[in-house]
Amino acid sequence: MRLLRSIWSGAGQHVVRCTRLQSIGVTNSYRMGQLPRVCQYSTTSTNGEDGELTPVERIRNIGISAHIDSGKTTLTERILFYTGKIKAMHEVKGKDNVGATMDSMELERQRGITIQSAATYLSWKDTNINIIDTPGHVDFTIEVERALRVLDGAVLVLCAVGGVQSQTFTVNRQMQRYRVPCLAFINKLDRGNANPTRVMNQLRAKLKHNAAFVQIPIGLEKETKGLIDLIEKRAVYFDGDYGETVCYDTIPDHLQEEVDSRRKELIECVSNADDELGELFLEEVEPTTEQLKAGIRRSTLKRAFTPVFVGTALKNKGVQPLLDGVLDYLPNPSEVDNFALDE
Quick: pLDDT tens for 263-298.
999 999 999 999 999 999 999 999 999 999 999 999
Selection from 304, 301, 294 nearest residue 272 by Cα: 304
Lowest mean pLDDT among 96-100, 209-213, 240-244, 314-318: 96-100
Helix 319-329 to helix 289-301 angle (10° resolution) is 70
Q: Is the pLDDT of residue 306 over 80?
A: yes
Helix (H, G, I), strand (E, B) or coil at 321: helix
Query: What DSSP element (H or E) covers 228?
Result: strand 226-229
The pLDDT, as a whole number, for residue 203 is: 95
d(CA 138, CA 149): 18
Selection from 152, 146, 136, 149 nearest residue 300 by Cα: 152
- Sign of the dihedral through C-alpha 286, 290, 291, 294: positive
Model pTM score: 0.80
What does each C-alpha distance from 130 to 48, 288, 332 come to in angstroms?
Answer: 18, 31, 11
The pLDDT, as a whole number, for residue 24 is: 35
d(CA 290, CA 297): 11
20 and 5 Cβ atoms separated by less than 8 Å: yes
The pLDDT, as a whole number, for residue 9 is: 31
Q: Is the pLDDT of residue 38 over 80?
A: no
Mean pLDDT of the chain: 79
Helix (H, G, I), strand (E, B) or coil at 335: helix
Selection from 39, 188, 57, 50 nearest residue 127 by Cα: 57
What confidence tier does 39 reach under pLDDT thresholds 50, 70, 90? very low
